[in-house]
Amino acid sequence: MKTRIGSPSFTCSRSLRLAALALGSSLVLAGCAGNPPTEQYAVTQSAVNDAVSAGGTEFAAVEMKSAQDKLKQAEIAMHDKKYDQARMLAEQAEWDARVAERKAQAMKAEQSVKDAQKGVQELRQESQRTVQ
């Protein structure tokens, strides 16, 4: 007695459906990878602008240059439709810009502390002169 596993037309139809599903899935994934990272680019541009406003070019020149260079490279990659590379460069540029901003803020705060200490020192010297 022979048992029938499936009709050839059913097996072929099932294979075609699986192939179509696999092809459709890959197209969807490729479509996601093919979108320009415009949102990330805008976030990065904002981070670079914030870092410049915070004094990054003065207090964190190396980090600012890195951020600006990577942002330019990301723009070129977007123009060449290399969206994955553009996204990666934009993310790196964002973090470089944020480091530059924090470093500039820290340097300014340090300078403010030094100025305050100098002011306290001058007040002490002034008060000692008036007592004598």
Give backbone dihedrals phi and psi of 37, rounded to 5 degrees, phi first.
-80, 60
- Report residue 107's pLDDT band, with 50, 70 and 90 as the boundaries: very high
Q: Does 15 score more than 60 pLDDT?
A: no
* List of residues 6+ apart from 90 with CB closer than 8 A: 37, 40, 41, 43, 44, 70, 71, 74
Quote the CA–CA distance of 105 and 53 in Å, as a whole number: 10
Looking at domain 36-131, its CATH class is: mainly alpha
At position 31, the amino acid (one-letter code) is G
pLDDT at 32: 47
Taking the model in full, what pTM does it have?
Answer: 0.66
CB 116 within 8 A of CB 125: no
Tell me what the mean pLDDT of segment 12-26 comes to. 54
Tell me what the mean pLDDT of segment 36-40 comes to. 95
- Report residue 31's pLDDT band, with 50, 70 and 90 as the boundaries: very low
Structure tokens at 108: 């300014």
pLDDT at 101: 97
Q: If you ran DSSP here, which 8-state letter would residue 131 be given?
A: H
- Report residue 27's pLDDT band, with 50, 70 and 90 as the boundaries: very low
pLDDT at 10: 47
Q: Does 18 score more than 60 pLDDT?
A: no
Q: If you ran DSSP here, which 8-state letter would residue 1 be given?
A: -
Tell me what the mean pLDDT of segment 9-34 comes to. 52
Quote the CA–CA distance of 60 and 97 in Å, as a whole number: 9
> Among all chains, which residue has been given the structure tokens 């093919």?
34
